[in-house]
Amino acid sequence: MNSSFDKEQPLMPIGPSLEFLRAHPAHAIGMGFGSGLSRIAPGTAGTLWAWISFALLSHWLDALAWGLLIGVSLPLGWWACSVTARNLRVLDPASVVWDEIAAFWLVLWLVCPAGFGAQLAAFVLFRFFDAVKPGPVGWADRLYHDIRPEQDRHAWSKAGFGIMLDDLVAAACTLLVIAIWRF
């Protein structure tokens, strides 16, 4: 016998827009305060937003404050990515870039103080791992791509976790390459 979930049709995705971004605080966070609305490479735009905001906020935040901010940004990002993905009706929407922001903040926090060249190298490495998704990054990315919201009541929470996870693995790979390079 079929459950009621089997009879439900998936909802059509909603396109991201400025109106959508303003509709809920989770959307603003999840979409990187608008950086995810970039029509060209929203993940790169989100990572650039992370880099610029890190440079600006570092005038006021010390290492401990950055650690606390990043620590808060992870569960906040899970929530924001889950809500935004659910409301866009897409498991891993390109316009959701908080994962890039939180993960790249983590990279910068751990490599700084570093000059522009080292930060640029970290940016390029992180974008490579996030976009190409080699090895463990691809594994983390695929973990939650087969969930079905119409059959799993926790699907959107899992999707939000998955959105965050692959970028954290990309950050770990970036930091590993930098550590090997510096050694």
Which pLDDT value is given to residue 10? 60
Residues 6+ apart with CB under 8 A from 178: 111, 118, 121, 122, 125
The pTM of this model reads 0.91
pLDDT band at 7 (very low <50, low <70, confident <90, very high): very low
Q: Do the beta carbons of residue 102 and residue 77 sit within 8 Å?
A: yes
On the question of pLDDT at 11 being above 80, the answer is: no
- The pair of three-digit structure tokens given for residue 80, joined into one six-digit string: 């924001």
Let me know if residue 8 belongs to a domain. no
Let me know if residue 57 belongs to a domain. yes
Closest CA to 26 of 72, 91, 102, 83: 83
Q: How many domains does the chain have?
A: 1
Let me know if residue 3 belongs to a domain. no
- The pair of three-digit structure tokens given for residue 93, joined into one six-digit string: 């929407």
